[in-house]
Structure 1
Amino acid sequence: MRQNRITRLAVALAFAGFFGMSILPTRAASDPAFTQFIASLWPEAQAQGVSRATFDRETAGLEPDYKLPDLILPGRPATGAPSQAEFVQVPADYIKEASIARLAAEAQKLMAKYRSALDGIEKQFGVPAPIVLAIWGRETDFGRYTLPYDGVRVLATQAYVGRRKDQYRDEFILGLKLINDGEVTRKDLRASWAGATGLTQFLPSEFYKHAVDFDGDGRKDIWHSVPDALASAAEQLVNKGWQRGVRWAYEVTPPANTDCTSGVPEVTKPLRQWLREGFVPVRGQRLSAAEQAEEASLLQPEGVYGPSFLTTKNYFVIKEYNFSDLYVLFVGHLADRMVAPLPFATPWSASTQLRTKDVEAMQRHLTRIGLYADRVDGKAGMKTRSAVGAYQKQAGLTVDCWPSEAVLRSLSR
């Protein structure tokens, strides 16, 4: 009986081999060009202090993840960045009252839990505790959100076929350096699709520029140590120009004759001048003489609709953390809500947001007619909204500085 079973197995194997099949599990075929690319990075990794043993161990069997966004793949349509909520949602959807209220309540508990560390961070760096807590809440929901990707694989893929290859070439090597230096294990180096890692989402280069050992255990652990992660976020803000004692923004009621095209970072005036021109802080808030001397820019995230803000330099420092007006508004408002449970004084409107590709088309049209000179990135930021308002003036349309379907249709003609 045993001989018959052996015979049948031999026949089955021969039959499978004859037709070029395999009944055994197989690994996905390796990508020789990718393997060669990774191998070519060894001299640069060595120059950064990565050992040969670390390089070989962490790159052995490494394969690219072609499902990631923001890649340029030969023979395939270019994949754009994912539809980040900051750029495809209207403010009312992104800055949801329920989300803000939940995070603010949780942050108040965390404020008490980490009071000593937060007081120390504020004293040393000048960044208020609510700001760093709000960044932690926005980035990883106070650590509850698990980053989904293997950081080494993400960085390697973006370095190989990403839109920003040169940047990610350096980030990949620094990612290996993190492991080599014992800063983090490969298992804990989880990342977003763009390679950011840790409780407060740092790229490897940001770790080496800004990470802080605040709990004094000899490690800069932004993955497990809340004091280290929050102090590192504060240090990054300081290194990007944070001004001690300055608010991030003031919500205001604008005068009826406000020119929304002036809502760009380049147009700055002392707050006292904005007040003289009829901008009124909401809820009767009174600004000190020192506050009135601060330079500020006008921000109207929904054009003439919704709330208006006078933004200080610290607003733009937070924006360096994530280049989105809605991100900064979320972080700033969440920080405020930890202190006073008040929503924005002016409600958001029910406006709709154009798709990324439509905003890109709008930016190209505005560039062609000389009204826009910034990046064509599909993100309707301050400069795009101002350019829309300038076009509306030129075309005899209602000037509201909001990138709408009507404006896109007019431009397309």
Structure 2
Amino acid sequence: MMKSRLVWCAVLLLGMFQPARAGDAAFTQFIASLWPEAKEQGVSRAAFETETRGLEPDYKLPDLLLPGRPATGAPAQAEFVQVPADYIKDASIARLAAHGQKLIQQYRPALAEIERRFGVPGQIVLAIWGRETDFGRYALPYDALRVLATQAYVGRRKDQYRTEFIMALKMLSDGVVTRRDLRASWGGAVGLTQFLPSEYYKHGVDLDGDGKVDLWHSVPDALGSAAKQLANKGWQSGLRWAYEVKPPANVDCTMGVPEVKKPIGDWLRAGFVPVRGQRLSAAEQQQPASLLQPEGIYGPAFLTTANYFVIKEYNFSDLYVLFVGHLADRMSSQAGFATPWSASQQLRSKDVEAMQKGLTRLGLYADKLDGKAGMQTRAALGTFQKRAGLKVDCWPSETVLQAINAAR
């Protein structure tokens, strides 16, 4: 009896572990199949063999599509699940700004060179560094090659990560960085200012003049590369990222989308008033801008310039851009936002996605179903509120979600 029971247990355990082995064997085969593409990008055979030997997938990463298992879902990034008051905490901004002021002095020559070459203020790239890795004090938790390989194999954006994995191999093959230093976020971004491997080759700058681009140990290189990335994506020298304004009482929050763009002077004539009595020059008033109300009609409002959307290319989140822009401003001024954030509640991502699906069904929304209450989602739900005779506040709430679900 005991012997048969042991045999049965062995068979059961074999059955439990076989799929994992089969899956990992398929992963190994997938990685091996990438050699021709890696070779085409200049990866040496020796580097390919060394870096991929024993490489295993990490199925605990977010944003994966695993056969036979529920989707792991997109990660709960703070930019997309926190209300502004929680994400842009004044205490955090003040702490980072105080440290940033010291770094302005420490890296003054490098920051001056960055502004001369790329037109990007030093405070902006310092703020990116502060937000991304707490000025280098945050240790990135993952092995970048393993992250990129896993995302290329079973991630939601396989094609993008396939390219990034090969570019990471190229970085190792070229001697750009050691495997030990190639640490990453869950999304595969590396270095002090969080670059994807392909971005290293597109935007990397040897600002310290030592003959190599080092995003891991050279602060001038990391900041210069961030500035070059912004410049390559359209940064306009001398243009502010945004202006905080007080909107008129009858503001239509559904206008808060990038497509509704007009000269700042036109916004001012429509009743928008720069905060703290700020006076804008004639040149500033000619600049086109879009309205941003991150909490709908609640909390601060902003007129966002082209440079706002350039920063957004670095991280596609309004709260991220507000954090970076505001932190940069606080390195020069102690003033916080003139209008306080409200105590609004944020719907869970799955509820926001349900709202997006309902708005799509009603023909009011045609963007991504991503569970993130961005500009397009807020404007679409505001349009729904208008049609349904509800209070128009452009903010995703449980009440509006129920109304959308009930609408036919």
Could you state the TM-score of these two structures normalised by the residue count of structure 2?
A: 0.95
Residue correspondence of structure 1 range 2-401 to structure 2 within 5 A = 31-401=24-394
The AA in structure 2 aligned to 1:167 is: Q
Q: Deviations over 1:301-321 (max 9, x none)?
A: 000000000000000000000
The AA in structure 2 aligned to 1:229 is: A
SS of residue in 2 equivalent to 1:297 = strand
SS of residue in 2 equivalent to 1:339 = coil
SS of residue in 2 equivalent to 1:251 = strand
5+ residue gaps, structure 2, are 1-5, 12-19
Displacement of 1:80 after TM fit? 1.1
Displacement of 1:380 after TM fit? 0.4
* Distance (whole Å) between structure 1 residues aligned to residue 95 and residue 388 of structure 2: 44
The AA in structure 1 aligned to 2:276 is: R
Larger radius of gyration: 1
The AA in structure 2 aligned to 1:353 is: Q
Q: Deviations over 1:137-183 (max 9, x none)?
A: 00000000010000000000000000000110110000000000111
The AA in structure 2 aligned to 1:366 is: L
SS of residue in 1 equivalent to 2:365 = coil
What's 2:17 paired with? none
The AA in structure 2 aligned to 1:269 is: K
* Distance (whole Å) between structure 2 residues aligned to residue 55 and residue 123 of structure 1: 39
Displacement of 1:229 after TM fit? 0.2
The AA in structure 2 aligned to 1:394 is: R
The AA in structure 2 aligned to 1:47 is: E
What's 1:4 paired with? none
SS of residue in 2 equivalent to 1:398 = coil
* Distance (whole Å) between structure 2 residues aligned to residue 334 and residue 371 of structure 1: 35
Displacement of 1:29 after TM fit? 5.0
Aligned pair 1:405/2:403, yes or no? no
* Distance (whole Å) between structure 1 residues aligned to residue 403 and residue 200 of structure 2: 46
* Distance (whole Å) between structure 2 residues aligned to residue 199 and residue 340 of structure 1: 25
* Distance (whole Å) between structure 1 residues aligned to residue 237 and residue 283 of structure 2: 12
* Distance (whole Å) between structure 1 residues aligned to residue 49 and residue 78 of structure 2: 38
Could you state the TM-score of these two structures normalised by the residue count of structure 1?
A: 0.93
SS of residue in 2 equivalent to 1:219 = coil
Q: Deviations over 1:319-352 (max 9, x none)?
A: 0000000000000000000000001000000000
Q: Percent of counterpart pairs with the same letter?
A: 76
Name segments (4+ residues, structure 1) moved above 6 Å.
Answer: none
The AA in structure 1 aligned to 2:336 is: P
* Distance (whole Å) between structure 1 residues aligned to residue 383 and residue 74 of structure 2: 28
Displacement of 1:382 after TM fit? 0.5
* Distance (whole Å) between structure 1 residues aligned to residue 404 and residue 272 of structure 2: 32
Number of residue pairs matched by the alignment = 394
What's 1:3 paired with? none
* Distance (whole Å) between structure 2 residues aligned to residue 318 and residue 329 of structure 1: 9
The AA in structure 2 aligned to 1:297 is: S
The AA in structure 2 aligned to 1:122 is: E
Displacement of 1:195 after TM fit? 0.2
Note the aligned Cα RMSD (angstroms): 1.7
Displacement of 1:275 after TM fit? 0.6
* Distance (whole Å) between structure 1 residues aligned to residue 174 and residue 358 of structure 2: 49
Displacement of 1:20 after TM fit? 6.5
* Distance (whole Å) between structure 2 residues aligned to residue 301 and residue 20 of structure 1: 57
SS of residue in 1 equivalent to 2:291 = strand
* Distance (whole Å) between structure 2 residues aligned to residue 304 and residue 45 of structure 1: 50
What's 1:10 paired with? none
* Distance (whole Å) between structure 1 residues aligned to residue 164 and residue 21 of structure 2: 26
* Distance (whole Å) between structure 1 residues aligned to residue 58 and residue 252 of structure 2: 47
The worse-fitting range, judged by mean Cα deviation, of 30-39 and 334-343 is 30-39
Displacement of 1:82 after TM fit? 1.0
* Distance (whole Å) between structure 2 residues aligned to residue 226 and residue 328 of structure 1: 21
1:361 and 1:20, CA in 2 relative to 1: closer, same or farther beyond 3 A? Answer: closer
5+ residue gaps, structure 1, are 1-15, 22-27
* Distance (whole Å) between structure 2 residues aligned to residue 121 and residue 97 of structure 1: 28
